[in-house]
Structure 1
Amino acid sequence: MIKKAVIPAAGYGTRFLPATKSQPKEMLPLVDTPTIQYVVQEAVDSGIKDILMIIGRGKRSVEEHFSRNFELEYQLREKNKQEELDLIQTVPDDVKIHFVWQHDQLGLGHAISCAKDHVGNEPFAVLLGDTVLEAAAGAPPVTRQLMDVYEQYEEAVLALEEVPREKVSRYGVISGLIKRDNVYLVDGLVEKPSVEDAPSNLVIASRYVLPPEIFSALETTLPGKNNEIQLTDALKMLLADGPIYGCKFHGIRHDMGNKLDFIKTTIHYGLRHPEFGKELKAWLKDLDLN
């Protein structure tokens, strides 16, 4: 049973400068809700009640967002604004969110290693804080999909997505054999390969379920490009000692670290907004795009 989730959210967000000079990329809103709130909600909807966020310099607003603002709550109650009051209740009372600082930006692997003391000797989920994974209609949350695979095999599980071949150089890529339905037995991993060197077009999609042994692997992982410790390198060590599975999830990935994807996703969620979705759709239809 997976009880804990780790959400790395310490990166600088340089691709969104100047917007992220004083605002974390994870707090950039999808219409009226910060990106990272969707990520937390996915973990909560998957049944996780213990969440650790890895934050860094300039990320204080992430911590503030998930902390209670008693003055604002009082003002909203005084003005009988119950709907707005409900909106700022970001997590249920039985969900605990903790924070730990990554003082040096040394890569995703290093960020996850910062969770060792909190996680302890148990498996855990990892959800990258700048990527929203929207489950398909009728499907469980993506993290829950991975947890279900873990509960069957009790080995590391990676979320997988098929992408156009020309985009593989942006991601970690796997090779493997399909076991059943959308479950793969991984036999190789490579971080951001060239199109020519990529073993497939199945890429790792920002969600993981990892065993506690990942921390030992991270401790012995040598820094790579930009002196960063890559999670993919540590996963290769795990793969040398035992199986890793991949789950091609049912849903859509929204990469909020990419400007074009951010714009597309904002429109996507805007069209579904109960307050103005229909009006936005009509406006888009009326645009002269020639």
Structure 2
Amino acid sequence: MSNYKVKKAVIPAAGLGTRFLPATKAIAKEILPIIDKPAIQFIVEEALAAGIEDILIITGKGKQEIEDHFDANFTLEQNLKAKGKDKLLKLATETSNLNIHYTRQDHPRGLGDAVRHAKAFIGNDPFLLLLGDDIIRGDNLSQRIIELYEEYNQTIIAGVRVDPDQTKNYGILDIQATQKPQVYQILDMVEKPQDHAPSNLAAAGRYILEPQIFEILDTLEPGTTGEVELTDALIEFQKSHPLLAYEYEGEWFEVGDAKGMLKAAIIFALDHPEIKNEFIPYIKQVAKKFETHNEKD
């Protein structure tokens, strides 16, 4: 087990974004905004707030916008500065000069293959893995599992409870309680169980992984989908290493499809300081309108 503190994070962002077509034909799905902030910025901010010092974003073809977003835009900044728009200038520059690195996955061979591209960046350190389709609202989930790793020195998978009838849509963790609330020993993992799910704790896109995972990913054959799956690597890893699960009790949004993105947009709009005062009455008005419509039907 490693005794290093977790200071590195990996964010896979190489997916094709087909569930958002036609929007993602020319735009990286990670740049699609939730109100006024790209989805991937939520992920980066979570990692930085958790104490992460170096971030590797794994991109693919057509993902240049991600690098541009986290780079300086001299023309825009000069324009805003000249017009005295200090508030907008702050928004434009707060995503610049971050310690973010990039590498490209040349072919979409699955999440496991994407993670494998981080091997040289990670070296012998444990690291935080944040999936770009998962956004949280509430306590900083990354910080919590980093703290747990420093306590247990074991690989940790974050999970959230889902409705039992929805377990077939997620990677589900087979768990056993420990003496610590919200912390479980993982007995097994089942990807999208169609019959009987061992629990309703779904993997929530946050992991603390140890560098030994790369040894497995390097030898892992593609699964039936033709992709190298991280779940398969973790199942193999568990044969010789204990795995822990942490149950997150905050809000979790899957923004990898339009429905999840819309749900997140509504909730974050209700919090937005410049929108909520007009948006909340509007939502109430729309809800009342649909209630009246349904009653007539």
Band the TM-score falls in, shorter-chain normalisation: over 0.9
1:148 paired with 2:185, answer no
State the shift of 1:92 in Å: 7.2
C-alpha distance 206-43 of structure 1, shift in aligned 2 (>3 A): same
1:186 paired with 2:204, answer no
1:7 paired with 2:6, answer no
1:165 paired with 2:155, answer no
Q: 1:45 aligns with which of 46, 49, 54?
A: 49
1:64 paired with 2:68, answer yes
C-alpha distance 231-120 of structure 1, shift in aligned 2 (>3 A): same
Alignment-mate amino acid for residue 190 of structure 1: V
**Residues 214-229 of structure 1 mapped to structure 2, 5 A cutoff:** 214-229=213-228
Quote the Cα distance in structure 1 between the aligned partners of 2:275 and 2:199. Answer: 41
Alignment-mate amino acid for residue 272 of structure 1: D
State the shift of 1:197 in Å: 3.1
State the shift of 1:178 in Å: 1.3
State the shift of 1:198 in Å: 1.9
**Residues 1-290 of structure 1 mapped to structure 2, 5 A cutoff:** 1-91=5-95, 93=97, 95-135=98-138, 139=139, 141-179=140-178, 180-194=180-194, 196-287=195-286, 288-289=289-290, 290=293
Moved over 2 A (4+): 89-93
Quote the Cα distance in structure 2 between the aligned partners of 1:91 and 1:216. Answer: 34
Quote the Cα distance in structure 2 between the aligned partners of 1:167 and 1:16. Answer: 22
Across the aligned residues of Structure 1 and Structure 2, the Cα RMSD in angstroms comes to: 1.2
Contact 1:145 1:249 in 2 (8 A): no
SS in 2 for 1:229: coil
TM-score (normalised: structure 2): 0.93
Quote the Cα distance in structure 2 between the aligned partners of 1:90 and 1:197. Answer: 47
Contact 2:11 2:58 in 1 (8 A): yes
Quote the Cα distance in structure 2 between the aligned partners of 1:263 and 1:133. Answer: 14
SS in 1 for 2:196: coil
Once the two structures are superposed, what CA deviation does each residue of 1:136-185 show, in whole Å capped at 9, x if it has no partner? xxx3x100111111111111000011111221122211112111110011
State the shift of 1:130 in Å: 2.0
Quote the Cα distance in structure 1 between the aligned partners of 2:38 and 2:49. Answer: 17
SS in 2 for 1:253: strand
State the shift of 1:272 in Å: 1.3
Quote the Cα distance in structure 2 between the aligned partners of 1:33 and 1:4. Answer: 23
SS in 2 for 1:23: coil
Q: Which runs of 5+ in 1 are unaligned?
A: none
TM-score (normalised: structure 1): 0.95
Contact 2:113 2:217 in 1 (8 A): yes
Quote the Cα distance in structure 2 between the aligned partners of 1:170 and 1:113. Answer: 25
Quote the Cα distance in structure 2 between the aligned partners of 1:182 and 1:92. Answer: 36
Contact 2:72 2:96 in 1 (8 A): no
